[in-house]
Amino acid sequence: MKKLILTACAVFATSFAFAQANNDVTTQLGNGNSATVNQVGLMNDNSIHQQGDDNIASTTQTGIGNMNESESYGNDNEIDVTQVGLGNENYSGQLGNSNYAWVSQSGAFNSSFQVQIGNDNDTRVSQVGAFNESTQVSMGNDNIAWAVQDGLGNSATQGQLGDGNIAFASQTGILNESVQTQLGDDNIAIVLQDGLANYAEQYQDGNGNSALDMQTGLFNSSVVTQLGDAHSHVGTQVGVGNSMVVNQSN
């Protein structure tokens, strides 16, 4: 009986130690690729896949239960990821050349998803707080997508198809949501939210359009649609429960 108990204790101790271990899988196929991984804490999980030449990947995880997956297919791409806290998750995928992806998560249970297809795209997200979510997809060349979130439960979605588009979202507060979609070339979409449960949607289909929405307060809503070329919109909402719908086309 004593031997059985000791054996059970040994198995439990081994299982516990294994459960607490950090995990990394890094694969490099090609020439001149570079990967750096630093994990401190418990149950952090990292995966890096590089296929092509001269790609760079860096992952730093500090805390418990953070997860990251970085994939680069092509040449001269770079992904930099830093996660500090509990249960943060990120995926960054690149297909093409000379793309740059940057992720900084600090807090608990933040999630980000980044996809770049094309060349010379720049995608960045900063999340501070808890339960923030961001989705960024750029298809084309020379697109910029940046999101900054500070608070609780904010959501930012940025989708771009074309060349030379810029999307920027800044969210401070709780449960703010922004959705930015750009189809075409050289469009600019900017959302600035500060407060509680504000909603901003920007849809641009064409070339050379610009949209700027600023929301401060609670439960404000803005929906902007611009079809065609060279439209411009500036929206400002300060207060509680304001609603704005804008449609422009040519």
> pTM for the whole thing?
0.92
Q: Look at residue 33 and give its three-state secondary structure.
A: coil
> Can you give the three-state secondary structure of 106-130, one letter per residue?
EEECCEEEEEEEEECCEEEEEEEEE
139 is a domain residue = yes
Task: Pull the structure tokens for residue 107.
Answer: 């807090």
3 is a domain residue = no
Distance CA 86, CA 18 (A): 19
The backbone region for 7, taken as left when phi is positive above 0, alpha when psi lies in -120 to 50, beta otherwise, is alpha
16 is a domain residue = no
4 is a domain residue = no
CA-angle at 136, arms to 162 and 179, nearest 5°: 90
Sign of CA dihedral 39, 84, 66, 43: positive
81 is a domain residue = yes
Task: Pull the structure tokens for residue 68.
Answer: 């990251």
Q: Look at residue 139 and give its three-state secondary structure.
A: strand
Nearest 5°: phi and psi at 66?
-85, 150
Task: Pull the structure tokens for residue 187.
Answer: 């469009």
pLDDT for res 2: 45
Q: Structural domain tally of the chain?
A: 1
Distance CA 205, CA 66 (A): 37
Q: pLDDT tens, position by position, for the chain (250 residues)? A: 445 444 444 433 444 444 579 999 999 999 999 999 999 999 999 999 999 999 999 999 999 999 999 999 999 999 999 999 999 999 999 999 999 999 999 999 999 999 999 999 999 999 999 999 999 999 999 999 999 999 999 999 999 999 999 999 999 999 999 999 999 999 999 999 999 999 999 999 999 999 999 999 999 999 999 999 999 999 999 999 999 999 999 9
Task: Pull the structure tokens for residue 18.
Answer: 């294994």
Distance of CA 182 to the CA centre of its chain: 17
7 is a domain residue = no
pLDDT for res 234: 99
Structural domain span for residue 39:
24-249
Q: Which distant-in-sequence residues (6+ apart) come within 8 Å of 109 by Cβ?
A: 86, 87, 88, 89, 130, 131
Q: Identify the residue whose tokens are 């207060």.
A: 239
13 is a domain residue = no
The type of residue at 236 is T
pLDDT for res 19: 55
Q: Identify the residue whose tokens are 């609603």.
A: 243
Which secondary structure element, helix H or strand E, spans residue 176, and what is its range? none
96 is a domain residue = yes
